[in-house]
Amino acid sequence: MAFREAHHVQLPVPNGWYAVAFSKDLIRGQVEPIHYFGEDMVLFRTRSGEARVLDAFCPHLGAHIGHGGRVVGENVRCPFHGWQYDGESGSCVKIPYCDTIPKAAKVGTWHTQEKNEMIFVWYHAEKKPPLWDFPQLPEFGSSQWSEPINFELFVDTHVQDMHENNNDPVHFQFVHRMVGQEFPGEIEYGADGRHYRMTNHQTMETPVGSFETSLVRDSWGIGMSAVRLEGIPEAGMLLYSSTTPIDLVPNRTISRWVLNASNNMIDYAGDDFLHRLIEGVEQDQKIWANKVHRAKPVLCKGDKYLAEYRRWVKQFYSDPAPLRAVGED
Q: Are 282 and 153 in contact (CB under 8 A)?
A: yes
Q: Which amino acid is at 268?
A: Y
Query: DSSP code of 169?
Result: T
In the list 244, 284, 313, 315, the residue contacting Fe ion (rule: CB under 5 A) is 284
284 binds, among ligand FES, Fe ion, none (CB under 5 to 8 A by kind): Fe ion
Note whether 85 binds ligand FES by CB under 6 A: no
Contact mark string toward Fe ion, 162..201, x via CB under 5 A: ---x------------------------------------
Q: Is the CB of 84 or the CB of 214 nearer to ligand FES? A: 84
83 binds, among Fe ion, ligand FES, none (CB under 5 to 8 A by kind): ligand FES
Q: Which of 11, 26, 54, 58 binds ligand FES (CB under 6 A)?
A: 58
Query: Is the distance from CB of 163 to CB of 213 less than 8 angstroms?
Result: no
Rounded distance, CA 201 to CA 83, Å? 58
Report the nearest approach of ligand FES to the CB of residue 101 (Å): 12
Phi, psi (5° rounding) for residue 242? Answer: -135, 125
Q: How far is the CB of 162 from ligand FES (least distance, A)?
A: 37
Q: HSE, CB side, 13 Å, CA atoms: give it for residue 254.
A: 15
Burial of 88 (0-12, 13-18, 19+ CB in 10 A): middle
Q: What's the rounded Cα separation, in Å, for the pair 218 and 223?
A: 11
For ligand FES, the binding residue among 25, 63, 183, 283 (CB under 6 A) is 63
- Residue 81 binds to ligand FES (criterion: CB under 6 A): yes
CB of 26 to ligand FES, least distance (A): 22
Contact in structure between 68 and 44 (CB atoms under 8 Å)? no
Spacing of C-alpha 154 from chain mean position: 13
Closest distance of CB 309 from ligand FES, Å: 45
Q: For Fe ion, which stretch binds (CB under 5 A), given 28-36, 95-103, 158-166, 201-209?
A: 158-166
> What are the C-alpha distances in Å from 318 to residues 127, 161, 205, 280?
10, 18, 46, 33
**Residue 78 touches which of ligand FES, Fe ion, none (Cβ within 5-8 Å per kind):** ligand FES
Shortest CB 21 distance to ligand FES, Å: 23
Window of 4-12, 180-188, 279-287, 320-328 that interacts with Fe ion by CB under 5 A:
279-287
Task: For the CB of residue 144, give the shortest distance to Fe ion in the complex, in Å.
Answer: 28
CA dist 239 and 260 (Å) reads: 7
Tell me how far apart the alpha carbons of residues 56 and 232 are, in angstroms, rounded to a whole number.
Answer: 48
Report if residue 161 touches Fe ion, rule: CB under 5 A: no
Length of the chain in terms of residues written: 329
Where on the chain is the footprint of Fe ion (CB under 5 A)? 165, 284
Which residues contribute to the site for ligand FES (CB under 6 A)? 58, 60-63, 78, 80-81, 83
